[in-house]
Structure 1
C-alpha cells in the first residue's frame, strides 16, 4: 500500500513539474514621489512545451495613470534537470510599462489575466502609495526629445566636404525610437550627401545623463566661400496621440576661398581625380555611322557635384549630348568612385582625326595646390562604306549576310538568331562551308514553314510530342500556377492596420504565410526555414525567423500600437515580396 501511495505522489509531482505557468507583476517600488514614474514589470513564464497561450495578457484598470511608455520581449531556454531526460523547455515573455500617476494617495493595481490551455491565470493585486502630484497641463513628448547636429571640422575650403553627425537625446529611451522622417538640410549654397542613415546603438549615458543615439551621418559640401550656415535638420516624433516636429541646431562654417593662381580650365573640382577617354567598339568605324565615346572621371572629392569635361566640337565629327552614369559612394575625404559620360559621335569625313576633351584641372586640399590634367585625346580612323566592304573577307561577308538574314526571319518555331556567327580574322574553309550549308538549309526551312502555315491557317495548332521537361521545370510550372498574389494580402493588411482590427491583421498574416509556404510545398514553418536557407540564402531565412518571432511577441503583447503594426507590415511587404518572386 505504501508503495502505491509513493508512486501516486511522484506521478502527481512529475505532472505538475511537466507543465507549469508562472505569472507575476511587480512594481520597481511601492512608495513614490509625485514626480516619479511608476514602472511595472509583467513576467509570464511557461515551463514545458505543452503549454499554449490562448489570449493576450489582459491588463488591470490603469485609468488613474497616464501611460508614457511600454515594451515587450521574449526569450526561450532549456532548464537543466538532474539528468538530460529531465531538461525542460522554458518560454519567458516580459512586458514593461511606464506610468505617470494622476492622483495622490493609495492606489490599488488589480490583477493581470492570461488564458493558458483553457485555464485563466492571474496575479495578486497590490497597493502603491503616491505622494503629492503636481498639477500640470498635458505634456508634449517632443519637449523631451532633442536633436543636435555636430560638425567637428568647421573650417574647410570651398567644395571640400566636412562630416556632420545628427544625434537625438532624451531622458526616456523609449522616446528615441519614435523619432522618424529625418529631413537633411537643403540649401543652394551647400550640397548634402548621406553617408549612413542607419541608427547606432543607444548610449544610456549621453550628455546631461540623457540617453542618445546617432540617427544619421552626412557630408556637407559648401559651394561658396565665407561664413556659410548649415540649416537645421528636421524630424518628427510619432506618438499614439499626435505627430510633433522637432528641429536641430544650426552650424556655421568658415569656408576658405580657394588659393589664387587656378588654371583657366579649373571649374569646381576639389579632391584628387583622373580623366580617361575611350571607346569599346571592335569594329571598324564607318563614316556617317555612330559609335560611342566614353569620358570617365574617377577619384575622390566632390565627385557627385563637379562639372565634367566635355568632348570638344570638330569639323571631322558630330557629337551629341551624353548619357551620364554615376557610380559614387562615400569615402574618407569625399565621395569616391567614377562618373561616366557616354557620347554618341558620328564621323563626317573618312581619314584620321582626333577626339579630344576639354582641359580639366582640380584643387587638391591635402597638398593645397592645383593640378592641370590638360586635354585627353583619342586617335580615330574613319573608313568609307566601300573601304569597310573591301576590307572584309569572303567569309566575313557571308557571315554578315547570314546574320542579317537570321535577324530578319527569326521565327517562333526555330530560334534562328542563336545560329549567328562571329567574325573571323582568318579564312576558315570549314566554317565557310558550314555557313553556306546552314544558310541554304534555313532558306528551305523558312519557305517550308511558310507553306505549312498557309495550309494549317484554319486548323488550331496542336502540341504534338511536346517535351515534358525535367522534374524541376515541372515543379516550377506547378509553383507558378499556385503562385499567391501577395499584393492583395498587402492591401488587405494595410486596411486592417488603418481600421485598428489587429486580431484580424494577425489572422490574415497567418493565411498569407500558409499560402506562401504552400506555394513552395512546405507544410511547416521549420521546413520552410530550411528551404529558404537553401533556396534564397541564409539572410532571408534569418529575416523570416525574426519576423515570426516579432509577430508572436506583438500578437500576445498586452499593448499593441499602430507604430509597431506599421513596422511589422513594412517587414512583411519587404520579405514576402522577396520570397514570392
Structure 2
C-alpha cells in the first residue's frame, strides 16, 4: 500500500530556464485519505534566475472540495568556487478534501513560463470511509529539544528577536546587531522573507547562518531553542535617531500527524525595530586634519623608492590601520611641494572581521610627478581621529620623507636664477647679392590663391591662442582639468563596470560602479568624494547648487552599491536595474 508514503512526482521538463533546468513538481502529504478529510497538494517551482513566476494552472477538480490556498518562497544561496549560486523555490499550497469514495485522480498541473510549457504527472488518491488521522500517538524522543505537538498557537511557540549591543553611540561608532530565531517546535523549513533596512548606516556583515545551530536560551520569560541568524556591524553616517529595520522569517513547523507521518503548519515571525540615538561628533577640539575616522588607529607613510630618474613618478602611500569605521575615513591633506605635481590618490582597503569588531587598513596612494631636478622633502602628514572611549579627538603624524629627482626634463631647480640668454657666436657674416639689380617684389606679384593664406593664418593663430590658453589652464587649474576629463573617464569606468557585470561578478561590479559614480562626481565638481560620508557629500553638492532631488537619487544609488558590496542580500534592486539607474543619475548631473 502507498498510504503511508508521500508521493513526489517530478516534471518531465520540456524546456530549460536560464542556466539551470527549471524543476516543476507536485506532491500530496498522503495518498490515502478519509471522505471529507483535508489533505495538502503542494506544487513547487525551483530554479536559478527565475525572477517572477506565474501561478500554475490546476486541473479540473470536480471530485474535490477546495478549502483554501497559500504560497511561500525560499532562496538557497551557496558559494561554489568563489561564485554565488542562488536557487529559488516557490511553493503553491492547496488544501483539498475528497467528496466521494474510491480512487480519484488529480490531473497534471501546468505552468506557462517564458513561452515554455511545463507539466507534472497525474496523482492518484485513494478515498476510504472514516478519518485516517486518528492513530496511536508516536512517543516523543525524550532527548529531542523540540516538540511536534504545540500546546497552543504556532505563533506563540516561535519568535524572532533583534538586539543591539548599544543604542546610544557617536556618529561613526560601531553598533553590533544580532538577529536570533527562537522556537519550541521542530522546524521543517525556514527562509528570510524580508531583509532589514539599514538606512543611515554603513553595514559590514559579521555572521550569516549557513545552518541552524541551536542552544537553550530564555526569551520573554520562556525557555526556547535559539539559533543565531545574522550578526552585522553598523556604523551610523549621520546623527539623530536612526531606525534599524525589521527582519521577517517564514517557514513551517512539524505537527504530529498519523502513525507514520507528520504534517506541517506555516508561520511567519518578525523582529522589532531598534532605535539608535546617534550623537554628533563634538565641534570642540576638532582638529583641521580630521578625516572622519572614529576608533583607534595607527598612521604611517612611505615612498616606494627614494629616487626618480627622467621624471619617473613615485608613489607616496599613507596607511591608516586599526579598529573602527575604516572604510569611511577620508583622504589626508598632503602639503604641496614646489617642483612636484601631486595627483589625486587611489585607495586600497583590507577588512578583517574578528571578535565581533571590524578592523583593517586603508591605504591612500598619491602619485608624485617631479617637474624639476633636486632633493625633495615630504613634510610629516597629520590626520585627526575621534576616540569614543575617551570622548575626544587625537592627532597622529608621519615622519618626514625625502627623495632625489634627476633628469626631470625642466632644468635644475637650484639654477632658477640663471638667465635664458646664450651666446651662439660673435662673427658677423655679410651677405653678398649675386645680382647687380634687385627686383622689386611688390604685392602685385602674389597670385590670387596666395591671398587665402592670410585669413587661414589668422584662423590658425586664433586657434593656437585658444589651445595655448586651454593647455595652460589644464596645468594651472586642477578643477578645470578634472572637469574636462570627467566625461571621458566616466565612460571608461562605466564600460569596465558593464564588462564585469557581463561576467556575473556582482561584487566587483558594484565596486566598479561605485568608483565610476564617485569618480565622476569628484571630477565634475572638483571635490574629493572617496571616503566622504553621505552628509558630507550632500553638503558639498549643496554648495555647488546641485538640485536636491538629484542629490538624493545619487546618495540612494551609492547606498545601494554599498549595501550590495558590504551586506550581500540587502540591496533592493538588481544589478542591471542599478546600472540603469546609475546612467540616469549621471546624465542628470
Give the alignment's TM-score, normalised by structure 1: 0.40
Q: Which of the pair is proportionally richer in strand?
A: 2
Q: Which has the higher helix share?
A: 1
TM-score between the two structures when normalised by the length of structure 2: 0.39
